[in-house]
Amino acid sequence: MTDKKQILTANELRSGQNVYFVLDNDEGRWDADIHQATAFSAEEIEAATEKANAFETNNTVVGIYAIPVGDNQAPVSAREKIRAAGPSTQYGHTVN
């Protein structure tokens, strides 16, 4: 039986961008690249969420939640695949 992995995602408050939690040497940070995210087992996700919540308290990110991922940090759900790919429409006006 393989251990199902999860990563943490949120929205960065300044830009509104989708970001993913990276745990480096017990220090956390957020990155826009889903492939940089740290994958956690079911046993690890609660402690990782506690670390990530400090960033929400400091008004860096909002709406932290865990998502299941497959190989190479690929999101499992269609919603998260779309979020990871970036905006599906361009914002603003184009100049001709």
The pLDDT-based confidence of 9 (bands split at 50, 70, 90) is: very high
Query: Does the structure show a pLDDT above 90 at 72?
Result: no
Confidence of residue 23 (pLDDT cuts 50, 70, 90): very high
Is 19 exposed, middle or buried, given 0-12, 13-18 or 19+ CB atoms closer than 10 A?
buried
Instruction: Output the pLDDT for position 1.
Output: 38
Q: What is the rounded distance in angstroms from the CA atom of residue 74 to the CA atom of residue 16?
A: 21
